[in-house]
Amino acid sequence: MKAANFETVSHVVPTVADDDLSIRILQLPGDAPHWQLVMRFLELRKQVFVNDMKWQLFHDEGIEFEQYDTIGTIYIIAHRGEKVVGGARLKRTDCLIGHGKYVYTYMIRDACYDLLPGMPNNLCYDEPPVDHDIWELTRFTVSGEPGVAPEILKRTNAYLHGLQGKACLFLGPPAFMRMAKKLGFMPEPLGPISGNEDGRFLAFKCAVIPPELVP
């Protein structure tokens, strides 16, 4: 498996009023001036997953982060001014993280290979893909504001379409796949509904489609 070669992409974001919802695609080093939004997204993850949902996740100094939050990770951040109201983490499925005894790739694949204690290992019927043009979206988080989640999915699809991506993998509750279907995507389950003490999970795949087809 070859390590991913991440290209830096410039993301031009129009100027908006502080109370307007904006969706930014952020990646180092180009977006370092806006990295405080990523830190607030990590704070939101800690609030939602650790404080509210009581998941047993590593956290420190008010933020939740893990091995998949690397320099090469791309973040989709929904915010109103400086307030982050949602976000997600995007990685290519041909990435490699670490070296030595444990080399990670992406969450769905690593769970299937029993590299993530506590995560179900039956997320996929077949071997998860390793492909330059297939991505994985995880840690999808919203503060509860209506309409934010669909906008994050739309912006992610538009971004991947611009990169000529073929598909995106998702991991979340079954309702997540139903939302994707309502937005005009054609989600395909990768495996059965699984679960652990944190809830029920479903891995699924959506083909990247032209943005104009998403309502």
Look at the alpha carbons of 184, 37, 82, 51 in this order and tell me if their dihedral is positive or negative.
positive
Instruction: For residues 43-63, give the mean pLDDT.
Output: 92
Burial of 96 (0-12, 13-18, 19+ CB in 10 A): middle
Q: What pLDDT score was predicted for residue 18?
A: 55
Q: Tokens in use for 202?
A: 């479903």
Provide the percentage of residues in the chain whose pLDDT is more than 70: 92
Taking alpha carbons only, the member of 172, 148, 139 closest to residue 45 is 139
21-213 topology per CATH: Aminopeptidase (3.40.630)
107 pLDDT more than 70: yes
pLDDT digits (tens, 9 = 90+) for 64-91: 999 999 999 999 999 999 999 999 999 9
Instruction: For residues 203-213, give the mean pLDDT.
Output: 97
Provide the percentage of residues in the chain whose pLDDT is more than 90: 79
Q: What pLDDT score was predicted for residue 144?
A: 86
pLDDT digits (tens, 9 = 90+) for 62-71: 999 999 999 9
pLDDT digits (tens, 9 = 90+) for 1-34: 433 333 333 344 443 445 799 999 999 999 999 9
* DSSP strand pairing (83-92 vs 134-142): antiparallel
Domain extents in the chain: 21-213
* DSSP strand pairing (167-172 vs 134-142): parallel
* H-assigned helices in 18-162: 35-45, 107-112, 148-162
For residues 215 and 211, give the distance between their C-alpha atoms in angstroms, rounded to a whole number.
9
Q: Tokens in use for 83?
A: 């307030």
Residues ≥6 apart with Cβ < 8 Å to 63: 39, 42, 43, 45, 46
pLDDT digits (tens, 9 = 90+) for 127-182: 999 999 999 999 999 998 999 999 999 999 999 999 999 999 999 999 999 999 99
In what helix (H) or strand (E) does residue 178 lie, and over which residues does it extend?
Answer: helix 174-182
- pTM to 2 decimals? 0.88
Q: What pLDDT score was predicted for residue 29?
A: 94
Buried b / exposed e across 119-131, counting CB within 10 Å, b at 16+?
Answer: bbeebbeeebbbe
**If you write DSSP's letter for every residue of 104-117 in order, what string do you get?**
B--HHHHHHTT-ST
